[in-house]
């Protein structure tokens, strides 16, 4: 079995304990992630961060800038069309405002890059598996990195950062050099099909709300998306299976 979706030991313990004890899942908090893309010398590149091992969530993992929605994020600035974003994300105007503002704020706080809402393109929507004690309802956005702004770790949350081709990032994960959660792995797989930032930003996508399930092979626990034939189908999240289509 590939290491795609393989959970770290601590997460595997939580998953096994969750099933053994029948613990009720905690609510998923709204969050946003931004995948910065650019055209490199050899094609598409994405900006990645390796989170410090001391971080409470996804410690030591390679991920993209992002974080949870704060209450202040749900207040719309005058130049944000709440109803436009509500239609694109399939949610309420207030919730959509929170996702968009959190995406912009977190990008600035973690990388120093300032974006406008018009730069964001919805890419994916993931909800953390039920067994986790920290759960997030996360919208992933893609955005072109402004040519006059170079992202860097200004939050202190990353032990390393890199611009890298999506396929090379996946190869490092396969070799065991990088650890990443299933949503990050899947987004990189999807982006590896594109040759340029422009192609990514112009992509027509149907976005599914994905809540992974998991299986235990006796040695390791693996997180699985619903389209995996091994998916156990044990997550009754109301939004499971809901499909949306968003344009560029």
1 located within any domain: no
The CATH number covering residue 72 comes to 3.90.79.10
Residue 243 has pLDDT above 50, yes or no: no
Name the nearest CA neighbour of 46 among 114, 126, 143, 148.
143
* Domain-embedded: residue 205: yes
pLDDT for residue 246: 44
The alpha helices in 22-132, defined as continuous H runs, are 82-89, 93-111
Instruction: Specify the pLDDT at position 222.
Output: 87
Q: Is the pLDDT assigned to residue 55 strictly greater than 70?
A: no
Return the percentage of the chain with pLDDT > 70, whole number: 88
Q: With 80 as the cut, is the pLDDT of residue 2 above it?
A: no
User: Does 120 reside within a domain?
Assistant: yes
Residue 247 belongs to some domain of the structure: no
Higher pLDDT, 136 or 50: 136
Is the pLDDT at 235 greater than 70? The verdict is: no
Residue 164 or residue 21, greater confidence = 164
- pLDDT over 90 at 140, yes or no: yes
Domain count for the chain: 1
Q: Answer whether residue 213 is part of any domain.
A: yes
Residue 4 lies in a domain: no
Please check whether residue 231 lies inside any domain of the structure.
yes
Q: 3 lies in a domain?
A: no
Task: Round to whole Å and give the CA distance between 193 and 199.
Answer: 10
Q: Which domain holds residue 162?
A: 9-242
Beta strand residue intervals within 197-242, DSSP E: 205-210, 213-216, 221-224
């Amino acid at each position: 079995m590939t290491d795609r979706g393989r959970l770290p030991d601590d997460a595997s313990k939580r998953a096994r304990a969750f099933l053994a004890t029948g613990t009720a899942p905690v609510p998923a908090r709204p969050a946003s992630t931004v995948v910065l893309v650019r055209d490199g010398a050899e094609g598409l590149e994405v900006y990645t961060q390796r989170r410090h091992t001391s971080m409470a969530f996804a410690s030591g993992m390679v991920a993209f800038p992002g974080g949870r929605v704060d209450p202040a994020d749900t207040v719309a600035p005058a130049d944000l069309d709440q109803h436009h974003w509500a239609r694109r994300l399939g949610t309420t105007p207030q919730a959509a405002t929170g996702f968009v503002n959190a995406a912009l704020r977190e990008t600035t706080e973690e990388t120093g890059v300032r974006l406008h809402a018009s730069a964001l393109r919805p890419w994916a929507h993931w909800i953390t598996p039920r067994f986790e004690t920290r759960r997030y309802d996360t919208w992933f956005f893609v955005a072109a990195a402004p040519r006059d702004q170079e992202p860097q770790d200004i939050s202190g949350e990353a032990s390393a950062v890199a611009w890298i081709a999506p396929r090379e990032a996946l190869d490092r994960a396969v070799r065991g050099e990088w650890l990443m959660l299933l949503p990050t792995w899947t987004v990189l797989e999807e982006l590896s099909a594109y040759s340029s930032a422009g192609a990514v930003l112009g992509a027509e996508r149907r976005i599914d709300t994905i809540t992974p399930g998991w299986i235990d092979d006796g040695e390791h626990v693996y997180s699985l998306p619903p389209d995996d034939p091994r998916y156990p189908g044990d997550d009754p999240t109301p939004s499971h299976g809901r499909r949306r289509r968003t344009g560029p």
